Structure 1
């Protein structure tokens, strides 16, 4: 068999869910069989729905420096999650609110669903290759979701690569980082007509305990008021994000565990202030961030620049899929 023979495209069913319009069975696009013994790594593409309509075609046309295409690399499995939020608009999205919304309450329901959805995908891939061998690549809203997951996870990933990202609900996030809770006096996720989409989502009974969980996080923030180290701030953010959809026992087991050792590769365009703020935010929390400024005028070219930036680093240093 030709070592550069391309993987075949597979549709993997994910959780069914109900929205206000209809019930659907959703599918992730996957390139690479779960039974292929050559596969040791997984790249999860966090995209806007219009960015990747066909994963195989996207990867075939996604060039980087080297003699092969990403779709020809036999030790990599590729997965593009189906996006969870289709309550409004013609295309699924990670969430409905815009980057310019800096505080809110109902918007956190959408963040919760996005993190739960991504968590399901990452857990499924980690059973095949291990979390340490998963690379997240995010564009736009997908980059924003990926960064939120990076702050939530209790275990480092192989790498995170992003372009066009931003920190959603920035004023809320700043308050959470410094104080350990949402700025609202009483914060409770609103009820929506969509069923939980993650096996890790809270049941109705566990949801009733959300207020007490957040109070515990707030108390931790009060105790650490004089300690504003990156470690403490990341732990506050992680605790809050986990409380949105993790089971309580998992939150307790993961206390003090973060994904801080995940290498981060961010590409930005100087004209976009939100992107610059995003990488400064991650640095402020203690992440090691490799920065790449692109001069590309189109988003398509900038996305390719971002992935090439990651791959060049891995090839040069013989890391991940390019370690052998």
Structure 2
């Protein structure tokens, strides 16, 4: 008798030989056993496929899929096309799940049919896997998911969500033309439907790896893609999105300023904070995290050193 998996975990993998073992081991340790893990090797040139294959050879729940390099969205979509389960979980190959991640989210989806997407708070870990004091709470700043997502991607990162497979048929797959913000675009399309709830579990059930050695952000590209996503959201829901656009742009500029600061690009961070102030200065007194970003940019030399120490590097770049 063939057992259909309860959830299909999609793991896009490109040149992550150093990290993928931890990601896949975290799946082996799940309290929920009835899953399939679809590892999508997106044209890796290192030993990523070999590490993945070792899991496939000892555990039939793991499958290795190989394709030419096409980017993160392409790999996710390829995996979703092969998925057998009614639920989809996303796990980037350099992150990891806590043991109760899948079980807790699947229980929520099973018992609350109006919930389309479940996610949790996350722990931030260093490049070497050691924990930090940093957390992503995932708490939305608005009750309405659409308005909340316009300001912040409260799901936080690409390894956090478990959602219904049927939603892909309803809103479409990840947009492969976007170089970034493709996950935010996907969540916004779901929120625009108006009938799906997003459920947050406050426990940190994900480990999100931040790699200071890889902080080479293309701020201009990220800003362009994010503005494209906001424009598409406006086209879908102009009456809801229109009044929020200045605030959404302010939050976007604040977010990019934080990334620029983390990457040591002080002039860019300053420019972006000034843009946020011009769009909607109120975010800096209504949102404590925005105020922290503003202070950090104004006190950039000390702030950058603090960030680097927190994430595992002691030498400012």
Q: Is the TM value for this pair above 0.5?
A: no
Q: What's the TM-score, normalizing by structure 2? A: 0.28
